[in-house]
Amino acid sequence: MAPNMSLFSVNAILILSNDDSSRILAKYYSPPHPPSNSHGNDYPGANPYPALKEQKAFEKGLLEKTAKQTSDIILYDNRVVVFKMESDVMMYVVGGAEENEILLYNVILALRDSLNILLKSSIDKRTIYENYDLVSLAIDEIVDDGIILETDPVVVASRVSKPPAQDMANMKGIDLSEEGLLKAWEFGKMKLGERLRQGL
C-alpha cells in the first residue's frame, strides 16, 4: 500500500456560478480525527483550505483557470481537480495531488447525473437555489467526510427523493376523510381540555 493512500480522497465539492464567480454551494472535507503523527494540514485527506478567505481565493483562481480549459481534469494548486460545466454553473471535485483521477471523475459524473435526475435535467443556478436541500443531500449521499460512499446516480437520487419508510407506514392507518378529520379534531379538543383542567 502506498504511504500516502487514504480513504479520505475528496478535499472539496464545489458548485460555483459562472456569471458572477460566486459560491452556490461548497463543502470542504477533513477527516474527523487526524493521525497522531500529523503536523498541521500535511496528512493525506486534510482540508488544505480551513479558512474562508483561503477558500474564496482558491475558488476564484479555480474559476479563472477552468474558464479557458477544454479538458475535465486539471492540476491546480497541487490538487487534482475534475469539473463539469452545466449551463451557468461549474461543478468541481477536488482531491489531493496523488489521488486517482478516475475515481474523482466518477464522483463528478455521479453528482451531475444524480442532479439531472433530481432536478429533471435542469441544472442551473436558479434551480439549484430552489432545490438546495436536494442538492446538498445528494452531495452527502455521494461523499461523507471526504470518503466516497456512492457513485451510482440512480441510487443517490432514489435515496434523496424517497420519503422515509417508517413515516409512510404510519400514514397508512390515518383516515383523511372529513369524518376522520372531525374525529381527530374532537379528540384533540378533549385532550387539551383534560390537560388544562389538570394544570389548574
Instruction: Using CB atoms within 10 Å of the CB of residue 190, give its burial: 0 to 12 exposed, 13 to 18 middle, 19+ buried.
Output: exposed
Per-residue pLDDT of the chain (200 residues; tens, 9 = 90+): 455 566 788 999 999 998 887 899 999 988 776 666 655 566 656 677 888 899 999 999 988 888 888 889 999 988 899 999 988 899 999 998 888 899 999 999 999 999 999 888 888 899 999 999 999 999 999 999 888 999 999 999 988 886 555 555 555 566 667 777 788 888 888 888 887 887 65
Domain boundaries, the chain: 10-161, 174-199
- DSSP 8-state assignment for residue 5: -
Q: Tell whether domain 10-161 is in CATH 3.90.340.10.
A: no
Report how far residue 99's alpha carbon sits from residue 10's, in angstroms, rounded to the nearest whole number: 9
Q: Model's pTM, two decimal places?
A: 0.74
Report how far residue 167's alpha carbon sits from residue 172's, in angstroms, rounded to the nearest whole number: 9
Instruction: Using CB atoms within 10 Å of the CB of residue 158, give its burial: 0 to 12 exposed, 13 to 18 middle, 19+ buried.
Output: middle
